[in-house]
Chain A
Amino acid sequence: MSTEAPEAPAPEEPRRGALRSGKGRMADPIFKWAVTACGAIVLVILALMVIRTTSEAWPVFAKEGFFGFLLGEDWSAGSSRSEISGTYGAWPFIYGTLVTSAIAILIALPLAIMVAFYITHLAPNRLAKPLSYMVELLAAVPSVIFGLWGLHWFLPNVLRPFFEFLEGALGWFFLFEGPVRSVGYLAAGIVLAIMILPIMTAIIREVIVVHPIDQRMAAYALGSTRWEVLRKVVLPASFSGIVAAAMLGLGRALGETIAVLMLIGGSQAWGASLFGTGSSMASHIAATFGEAAPEARTALMAIGVALFLVTMIVNILARVIVWRLGRMTGDAAV
Chain B
Amino acid sequence: MRNGRYKLAVLATIPLLAAACSNGGGDNGDSADGGGGDLSASLTGAGASFPDPLFQDWIYTYNSDVQPGVDINYQSVGSGAGVEQFLEETVDFGSSEAYLTEEDLAVAAENRGCEAVQFPVVFGSVVIAFSNPDLDGLVLDAQTIADIYSTEITTFDDPAIADLNPDMDLPSDEIVPVHRSDSSGTTAVFSHYLSTEVESWADEYGEGKELDWASGLVGGQQNDGVAQGISQNPGGIGYINQSFAQEADLAVASVVNADGTPIEPTLESTIAASDEAEVPENFQFSIDNIGGEGYPIAGTNWIFTYTCGYEQASADAIIDFWTWALTDEGAQDLAGELGYAPLGPNLTDRVIAELEKTNSENGSDEGAADGDTDQE
Contact = CB atoms under 8 A, between A and B. Distances in A.
B182 A266 contact: yes
A276 B107 contact: no
B182 A290 contact: yes
B200 interface: no
Given A183-B229, A291-B81, A265 B219 contact: yes
A156 B131 CA distance: 14
Interface stretch (A23-31, A267-275, A314-322): A267-275
B225 interface: yes
B232 interface: yes
A182 B217 contact: no
A288 B218 contact: no
A76 B221 CA distance: 19
A276 B176 CA distance: 12
A231 interface: no
A265 B218 contact: yes
A75 B212 contact: yes
Among B80, B206, B213, B219: residue with most chain A CB under 10 A: B219
Contacts of B79: 291
Given A156-B232, A181-B233, A269 B183 contact: no
A266 B215 contact: no
Contact of A290 (B81, B103, B180, B225): B81
Interface string A150-183: 0110011000100000000000000000010111
Contact of B80 (A75, A179, A293): A293
Contacts of A264: 181, 219
Contacts of A290: 49, 77-78, 80-81, 182-183
Interface string A131-156: 00000000000000000000110011
Interface in B180-204: 180-185
B225 A262 contact: yes
B81 A267 contact: no
Interface in A247-274: 261-262, 264-271
Contact of A179 (B209, B216, B225, B232): B216
A292 interface: yes
A289 B66 CA distance: 36
A182 B216 contact: no
Contact of B212 (A76, A82, A155): A76
B208 interface: yes
B228 interface: yes
A148 to B, nearest CB: 9
Contacts of B206: 76
Given A155-B232, A267-B181, A293-B80, A183 B208 contact: no
B107 A265 contact: no
Among A271, A288, A296: residue with most chain B CB under 10 A: A288
B225 A181 contact: no
A181 B176 contact: yes
Interface string A181-205: 1110000000000000000000000
Contact of A266 (B80, B181, B214): B181
A294 B80 CA distance: 8
B104 interface: yes
Contacts of A294: 84
B139 to A, nearest CB: 26
A287 interface: yes
Given A182-B233, A291-B78, A291-B80, A81 B182 contact: no
B342 to A, nearest CB: 25
Given A287-B182, A292-B183, A183 B218 contact: yes
Nearest to A260: B221
A179 B209 CA distance: 27
A146 to B, nearest CB: 13
Among A76, A277, A286, A291: residue with most chain B CB under 10 A: A291
B210 A77 contact: yes
A330 B219 CA distance: 48
Among B104, B180, B212: residue with most chain A CB under 10 A: B212
Contacts of B77: 290
Contact of A151 (B104, B184, B209, B228): B228
A288 B181 CA distance: 8
A277 B218 contact: yes
Interface in A64-90: 74-77, 79, 81-82
A101 interface: no
Contacts of B185: 291
A97 interface: no
A181 B206 CA distance: 25
Given A265-B181, A292-B80, A81 B107 contact: yes
Interface of B: 49, 77-81, 84, 103-104, 107, 174, 176, 179-185, 206, 208-221, 225, 228-229, 232-233
11 contacts: A77-B210, A151-B228, A179-B216, A183-B220, A183-B229, A261-B182, A264-B181, A265-B218, A277-B216, A291-B184, A292-B80
Closest 6 CB pairs of A and B: A266-B181, A290-B78, A266-B219, A269-B215, A291-B183, A288-B183
Given A269-B212, A288-B210, A296-B80, 10 more contacts: A77-B210, A181-B218, A183-B219, A262-B221, A267-B218, A279-B181, A288-B209, A290-B80, A291-B183, A296-B183
